[in-house]
Chain A
Amino acid sequence: MLYDVRLALHYDYDATVHGGRHLIRVAPISVPGVQRVVASGLSFEPRPQRESTFTDFFGNSVTTLTYVMPHDHLDIRLTARVQVEDNIPPADLSPSREVLRQEISRHWSVEPDSPHHFLSSSPRVRLVAAITQYGEDVTAGTPSVMAAATALCMAIHRDFAYDSKATDVETKPAEAFALRKGVCQDFAHVMIAGLRGIGIPAGYVSGFLRTTPPAGKPRLEGADAMHAWVRAWCGQHVGWIEFDPTNAMIAGPDHISIGHGRDYADISPIVGVLKTHGSHETTQSVDVIRVE
C-alpha cells in the first residue's frame, strides 16, 4: 500500500519566544518487511538558526531545532511517501507466559529491541496494581502471550470510551484507567501498563492511521490525526507484534509508523525548552492519502 502522508503542526505562542530548542520526532522510518519510506521532507517556519538530525537509542529519526531569534509561532510540516506492506497477521506461535518468562531470562541482550527495556516502569508508564489486576482478569485462561495481548487489546476497546475531552497529553495511565476514558495515547499507555504488569514486554508506537470516510461521504482534508498504538514482545519466535487498542485490531497496512519507545516520552512529536513567559496554542492536521 503506498501512502502520501502530510502533517502540519502549528504552535501559536502567547508571548514572544526569545529562543528555544526542540526535538522533533515526526518523520517515519523504514522498517524492513513492514514499511519503506520512499521520500520524506520536513520543513519549519520560521527557519531555525540551526537544524540537525540524529538517530536515537530506539532507532527513531530525531530533528534538533535551535532558535535564537525572537518568534511568536512555529510551523512544522512533514510530507512523506511511505510504502506499507500488506502483511497477513502472523499465526499465533507465541509461547505461554511461563515460557515467555524463561525466554526473557535467557535473552542476554540490551540491544534497543531487547524485551528487557520494556518490562518495568518507564517515564510515563508506572506499573499500577489496579491495571495489573485488570490485565490478569481480562487475560485469564489465555493459552499464549499473543492471545493474552489480543484479549487485553479487545478488553480496553470494550471497556473504555473514546473521549478527547476527558484527558490531555499529560494524563497518567492510572487516571485514564480510573476514568475508563481517553484517546489513543491513554489506551496505549494503559495497555502497556497492563502487559508489563503481567510480565509481557510492551512499548509505544507513534504514527499515522488511514481513516476511511463513512459510506457516501467525501474524505475531509486534514481530518486524520496522529495515532498511537502498542507493540508487545510475543517470544523469541514471533517477536514484536503491534496491537491497536483504540481500534481493537492488530496493526496492519493502514498503520504507518513514525517510531517507537517505552512510552510517549520516548517518541513524543515535539519536546522543547523555550525562553518565554507565556503558554501556547496548538493545532494539528494530518492527511493520509492512498496513492495506489
Chain B
Amino acid sequence: MEMRNQKSRGKPPAGPSIIADYRLQPGVPDEMIDPDGNIRPGWSQLMAAFDKLGPAELAARFERADQYLRDAGVFYRKYDGAEGKERAWPLAHVPLLIEEADWSRISAGLVQRSELLETVIADIYGDNTLVQQGLLPPELVARNGEFLRPLVGVKPVSGHYLHFCAFELGRGPDGAWWVLGDRAQAPSGAGFALENRVATTRALSDIYSDMNVQRLAGFFRDFRDKLFDDAKRDGGRVGILTPGQLNETYFEHAYIARYLGLMLLEGEDLIVEDGKVMVRTVAGPKPVSVLWRRVDASFVDPLELRYDSRIGTPGMVEALRHGSISMINALGTGILETRALAAFMPRLAQKLLGGKLLLPEIATWWCGQAGEQKHVLDNFDNLLIGPAFSTSLPFDDLRGTALGSSIPSDQKAALLDRIRASGADYVGQEPVRLSTAPVYVDGKLQPRPITLRVYAARTAQGWTIMPGGFARVGSSQDTSAIAMQRGGQAADVWVLSSKPVERVSLLPQDGQKLVRNAPGSLPSRAADNLIWLGRYAERCEATVRILRAYNARLAELSKADLPILTHCAAFLDSIDVDASEPMPQGLLASIDSAVHSAGQIRDRFSPDGWLALNDLQKTAQRFATKVRSGDDATRSMTVLLRKLAGFSGLVHENMYRFAGWRFLELGRRLERAIQIARILSHLTGKDAPDGSLEMLLEIGDSVMSHRRRYSVSAGTQSAIDLLALDPLNPRSVLFQIAELRAQIEMLPGGIDDGQLSSAAKAALQIETDLRIADPADMTPQRLDKMAADIGMLASLVAAAYFV
C-alpha cells in the first residue's frame, strides 16, 4: 500500500515559518501536509495567519482561550483515586481543519450508518429476523450485558430507538476516514465540542471569520426543536437525565441544559404515577415527555433493570411500556456499542441497505466463529486482541485490549487457550493507525495522532450531522495516549466551506415572532439545594463577621481570657466554630457545604457565581495554612467578607426572579434571621460583659445606623430596637421576616383562594409578633424562642416543597 506522505519524509515543508520544524512521522498521513509534502489549502491560510500574528501574540491568543475556559468553569472529572477530581479542560488550541469534500463523504457515511444502526436495533428488540437469517450470531445478543430483556418488544413512542449518536473516526494510512466505534447509548462530548468552539474562537476570532467555518448552532437548534416538538405532542416537559455531579461529564450535562433550555434532572427528581413520568417540582408533580438521558440504561430503573442502582427511578420501564415517555436514546441501545458487532456491520449493510458501507470500519474478527478464530490465532501478533462484549473504544480500553505482539510470552499461552476454549468472548481487530495533525507545544507545532468524534442527531429533516465535532489529540506519538484520562487533549474541528457561511444563533432572529417561554418548573431537589446554598453562604458570612470582631479585639487586647473574648468564644463554640483556630475548621466546613450545594445545581446560576464561590473556598483553604490569630486573622476575614459579598452580588443581581431565586433568597433570609436573633440573645443577656454592645453592633454591621438614630439614648434597648425590630434595617430580624413572609406568599400554593399555606401563616405570625413588640419585650429567652420558631418555619417550607 502506498503511504500518503512517503515523499515528504525528513524534508521540511515549504511555506509558513511556523511549520519549518514540523517533522512528519514516517508512513503516517498528516492532516496538514499532503502526501507530496505540500501544505493543504485551508491549513496554509491558517498557518499564514499564525505567522502574521507572530509567536508572542499567538501565545497570548491561546492563553486567552484557556482563560475563557477557566472563567467559564469548564471541567471534566478525572478518575485517579477513589473520587475523581475536577480538571481544567485540556484544549489543544490549533483547530483541526477538514475540507468540504472530505466532510461530505463523512456526513453521507454517518447518515447511512445511523440508519443502519436504527434498523439493527429495531430488529434486536423487535422481531429478531437478523438472528433467524444468520446475519447476527445469537450469542452476541443473548450473552450481552447490554441486551436488556425487559425492553424486548417495547416500541419507542417516537417510533425510533436512536435520536442522538456519536462516531469515533480515524484516518487510516490509505487516506480514507474509518469508523473506530459507534456510541449509541448516551454519547458524551457534544457540549464540550461547543465549548471548544467558543474558546477557540475567543483566541482566533478574526481568522475564524475569514475562513468560512461552518457553524454548530444550527445543528443544536434543529435537534432542540425536534425534542420540544415531540414533547409538545405529548404535553410534557423535556429534560436531560444526568447521573449527578460525580459523573465525569456532569459539567457538560449542566452546560447543555442551560444552552438548550432543558430541565437538568436526576433519577430522584422523577416519579412514575399511573405509568406516567412526572418531575417533582415545588408546584407539585409535572409531566415529562422526553428525556435525553446521559445515564447508562441499566441504571435507569432499580425495579426492572439493575437492582443496585441508586440513581434510578422505580417504574421507568413501566412508563416505557405504557408509551408515555420518549427516551433519547431508547434503553437497550448500548448493545450497538458491542465491539464484536463491528465484524457483522459490512454484511448487515449489504443485506439491509443493499450496498456497501460508505465509511469503512476497522476490520474485526469475532472468535466465536471457527474461520475467524483461526484467522485471529494465525495473525495473533499483528492484531489488537480484546473482549468481544466490551463497549469501550479499542484505544480507550487500556486494561482489556492489547496488540498481540505486546502481550508477554508468559501470558500469551494462557490467552490463546482461553480464545480456543471460549472464542465467543474475544475479538481480533486491525490495529488503529491514526493520522497526525499539528498541536501547539511550547511555541512550536508538532504532529500528534488524532481521532475525530462526530455527532448525528435525528431532526425534523431526518439524520443531521454536526458540522464539526471534537478531535482528540494524543499526548505523544503513541496512539494509545489519546484517551483524556491519560493526558490527551481536545481540539475544535473546523469544517471549511467554499462559500461564506450563514450565521446561526439559538436566539430568535429579527422578524421572527418573539415567544416568551413560560418559566419551567423548579425541581424540588434543586429548590432544596438552593435553600441550603443560601443558608450556608449566609452562615459563612455571619461566622466571618463574628470571627473578625473577635480577632480584632484579640489583637487590640492581646489576652484571650478577657470576659468579652471568652463570652464571644462561647457563642462561636455553640455553632461548632473554635475561636482559638485562626481559620476555624467549622468555617471551612460551611464553605465546603455551600460549594457542595452549589455543585448540585450548576445549571441554575451563572458561571461567574460558581467561580466566585470556588475562589472563596480556595482562598479560605490557603489562609488556613498560614494565617495567625489576631490582626492577621482580622484582615483575612475582611478579605473573605468581600469575596462573600462578591458571590452574593453576582448571584442576586443576575438571577431571574423566579422560583429558583426565591428559594435561594429564603435560605439567605432564614439563616440571617436565626443568626441575628441568636447573637442578640447572647450579647444582650444579664451576663453579657462590657463591650458586648459595641461587638453586637459591629457584627450586625449597624454601627453607623445606630449612631445616627440613637445618638442620645444609646444602650441595650436601642441595639435591640435596631437589630430586632427596625423594619428598615436590612440586618434586623423583622426585615428578614418581612421578606420571608413576602417570598413564601409568592411560592406555589402560598396563597390559594385567599387561604394562606401553613408556612405563610407561620411567617405572618412571627412577623406580627415582631411588629407589635417593644424592645423591652425582647428578652434573651424570647429571642431564643424566636430563633427556634424561624427554624420551624424552615421545616414547614421543606415539608411543603421538598417531600
User: Chain A: residues with CB nearer than 8 A to chain B?
Assistant: 21, 23, 50, 52, 54, 56-58, 64, 66, 107-111, 114, 116-117, 119-120, 123, 265, 271-273
Q: Which residues of A contact B139 (CB under 8 A)?
A: 116, 119
A–B complex contacts, Cβ < 8 Å, 30 sampled: A21-B303, A21-B315, A23-B303, A52-B318, A56-B149, A57-B152, A64-B315, A64-B318, A66-B273, A108-B131, A108-B132, A108-B134, A109-B128, A109-B132, A110-B128, A110-B131, A110-B138, A110-B142, A114-B138, A114-B142, A116-B141, A116-B142, A116-B143, A119-B142, A120-B143, A123-B307, A271-B307, A272-B303, A273-B303, A273-B314
Q: Which residues of A contact B274 (CB under 8 A)?
A: 50
Contact B307 A265 (CB under 8 A): yes
Restricting to B227-278, which residues have a CB under 8 Å from any CB of A? Answer: 272-275
A284 to chain B, nearest CB (A): 21
B304 in contact (CB, < 8 A): yes
Mark contacts of B105-140 with chain A using CB atoms, 8 A cut-off: 1 yes-contact digit, 0 otherwise: 000000000000000000000001001111000110
CB closest chain-B residue, reference A54:
B321
Contact A57 B303 (CB under 8 A): no
A103 to chain B, nearest CB (A): 13
B302 in contact (CB, < 8 A): yes
Contact B315 A110 (CB under 8 A): no
Contact B152 A271 (CB under 8 A): no
Within the assembled complex, what's the spacing in Å between the Cα atoms of A66 and B314? 10
B372 to chain A, nearest CB (A): 13
Within the assembled complex, what's the spacing in Å between the Cα atoms of A54 and B318? 9
CB closest chain-B residue, reference A117:
B142
B12 in contact (CB, < 8 A): no
B150 in contact (CB, < 8 A): yes
Q: Which residues of B contact A117 (CB under 8 A)?
A: 142
Q: Which residues of A contact B150 (CB under 8 A)?
A: 56-57
- Top 10 A-B residue pairs of the complex, sorted by shortest distance between their CB atoms: A116-B142, A57-B149, A273-B314, A116-B138, A21-B314, A120-B143, A117-B142, A110-B141, A110-B138, A110-B142
Partner of B303, one of A107, A110, A271: A271
Within the assembled complex, what's the spacing in Å between the Cα atoms of A119 and B274? 37
A48 to chain B, nearest CB (A): 12
Restricting to B142-190, which residues have a CB under 8 Å from any CB of A? Answer: 142-143, 149-150, 152
CB closest chain-A residue, reference B153:
A57
Within the assembled complex, what's the spacing in Å between the Cα atoms of A265 and B138? 22
Restricting to B300-317, which residues have a CB under 8 Å from any CB of A? Answer: 302-304, 307, 314-315
Q: Which residues of B contact A114 (CB under 8 A)?
A: 138, 142
A197 to chain B, nearest CB (A): 11
A118 to chain B, nearest CB (A): 8
Decide: A109 near B303, CB < 8 A? Known: A57-B150, A114-B142.
no
Q: Which residues of A contact B302 (CB under 8 A)?
A: 273
A53 to chain B, nearest CB (A): 11
A-B contact count (CB 8 A): 56
Contact B128 A111 (CB under 8 A): yes
A167 to chain B, nearest CB (A): 19
Q: Which residues of A contact B133 (CB under 8 A)?
A: 108
Contact B314 A109 (CB under 8 A): no
Q: Which residues of B contact A21 (CB under 8 A)?
A: 272, 303, 314-315
Restricting to B74-132, which residues have a CB under 8 Å from any CB of A? Answer: 128, 131-132
A64 to chain B, nearest CB (A): 6
Q: Which residues of A contact B304 (CB under 8 A)?
A: 23
B306 to chain A, nearest CB (A): 9
Contact A66 B315 (CB under 8 A): yes
Within the assembled complex, what's the spacing in Å between the Cα atoms of A117 and B144? 9
Q: Which residues of B contact A50 (CB under 8 A)?
A: 274
Q: Which residues of A contact B318 (CB under 8 A)?
A: 52, 64
Q: Which residues of B contact A66 (CB under 8 A)?
A: 273, 315
Within the assembled complex, what's the spacing in Å between the Cα atoms of A188 and B141? 25
B74 to chain A, nearest CB (A): 36
CB closest chain-B residue, reference A119:
B143
Q: List 14 additional A-B contacts (Cβ < 8 Å) besides A52-B275, A108-B134.
A: A21-B272, A23-B304, A52-B318, A108-B131, A108-B138, A109-B132, A110-B138, A110-B141, A119-B142, A120-B143, A123-B307, A265-B307, A273-B303, A273-B314
Within the assembled complex, what's the spacing in Å between the Cα atoms of A265 and B302? 12
A21 to chain B, nearest CB (A): 5
Within the assembled complex, what's the spacing in Å between the Cα atoms of A19 and B314? 11
Within the assembled complex, what's the spacing in Å between the Cα atoms of A114 and B152? 14
A254 to chain B, nearest CB (A): 30
Within the assembled complex, what's the spacing in Å between the Cα atoms of A23 and B139? 28
B426 to chain A, nearest CB (A): 14
Partner of B138, one of A54, A107, A271: A107
CB closest chain-B residue, reference A266:
B149
Q: Which residues of B contact A54 (CB under 8 A)?
A: 321
Within the assembled complex, what's the spacing in Å between the Cα atoms of A114 and B138? 9
CB closest chain-A residue, reference B148:
A57
Q: Which residues of A contact B321 (CB under 8 A)?
A: 54
Partner of B131, one of A57, A64, A109: A109
CB closest chain-A residue, reference B803:
A18
B317 to chain A, nearest CB (A): 10
CB closest chain-B residue, reference A62:
B304
Q: Which residues of A contact B307 (CB under 8 A)?
A: 123, 265, 271
Within the assembled complex, what's the spacing in Å between the Cα atoms of A52 and B275? 10
Q: Which residues of A contact B134 (CB under 8 A)?
A: 108
Q: Which residues of A contact B131 (CB under 8 A)?
A: 108-110
Within the assembled complex, what's the spacing in Å between the Cα atoms of A136 and B687? 85
Q: Which residues of B contact A273 (CB under 8 A)?
A: 302-303, 314
Q: Which residues of B contact A23 (CB under 8 A)?
A: 303-304
Within the assembled complex, what's the spacing in Å between the Cα atoms of A52 and B321? 12
CB closest chain-B residue, reference A23:
B303
Within the assembled complex, what's the spacing in Å between the Cα atoms of A49 and B138? 41
Q: Which residues of A contact B152 (CB under 8 A)?
A: 57
A112 to chain B, nearest CB (A): 8
Within the assembled complex, what's the spacing in Å between the Cα atoms of A58 and B149? 9
A257 to chain B, nearest CB (A): 19
CB closest chain-A residue, reference B142:
A116
Q: Which residues of B contact A58 (CB under 8 A)?
A: 149
A259 to chain B, nearest CB (A): 14
B106 to chain A, nearest CB (A): 33
CB closest chain-A residue, reference B304:
A23
Q: Which residues of A contact B128 (CB under 8 A)?
A: 109-111
Within the assembled complex, what's the spacing in Å between the Cα atoms of A114 and B128? 12
Within the assembled complex, what's the spacing in Å between the Cα atoms of A117 and B138? 9
Q: Which residues of B contact A111 (CB under 8 A)?
A: 128
Q: Which residues of B contact A64 (CB under 8 A)?
A: 315, 318
Most B CB within 10 A of own CB, among A21, A109, A123: A21
Within the assembled complex, what's the spacing in Å between the Cα atoms of A56 and B302? 16
Within the assembled complex, what's the spacing in Å between the Cα atoms of A271 and B308? 12
Within the assembled complex, what's the spacing in Å between the Cα atoms of A109 and B141? 10
Within the assembled complex, what's the spacing in Å between the Cα atoms of A168 and B142? 29
A19 to chain B, nearest CB (A): 9
B30 to chain A, nearest CB (A): 45
Restricting to B471-499, which residues have a CB under 8 Å from any CB of A? Answer: none
Within the assembled complex, what's the spacing in Å between the Cα atoms of A265 and B321? 20
Restricting to B370-425, which residues have a CB under 8 Å from any CB of A? Answer: none
Mark contacts of B641-669 with chain A using CB atoms, 8 A cut-off: 1 yes-contact digit, 0 otherwise: 00000000000000000000000000000
Within the assembled complex, what's the spacing in Å between the Cα atoms of A64 and B142? 26
Most B CB within 10 A of own CB, among A114, A119, A271, A273: A273
Within the assembled complex, what's the spacing in Å between the Cα atoms of A58 and B131? 18
B223 to chain A, nearest CB (A): 32
Within the assembled complex, what's the spacing in Å between the Cα atoms of A226 and B318? 27
Within the assembled complex, what's the spacing in Å between the Cα atoms of A265 and B134? 30
Within the assembled complex, what's the spacing in Å between the Cα atoms of A107 and B128? 13
B123 to chain A, nearest CB (A): 11
Q: Which residues of B contact A107 (CB under 8 A)?
A: 138
Q: Which residues of A contact B132 (CB under 8 A)?
A: 108-109
B717 to chain A, nearest CB (A): 48
CB closest chain-A residue, reference B425:
A120
A23 to chain B, nearest CB (A): 6
Q: Which residues of B contact A271 (CB under 8 A)?
A: 303, 307
Within the assembled complex, what's the spacing in Å between the Cα atoms of A23 and B273? 15
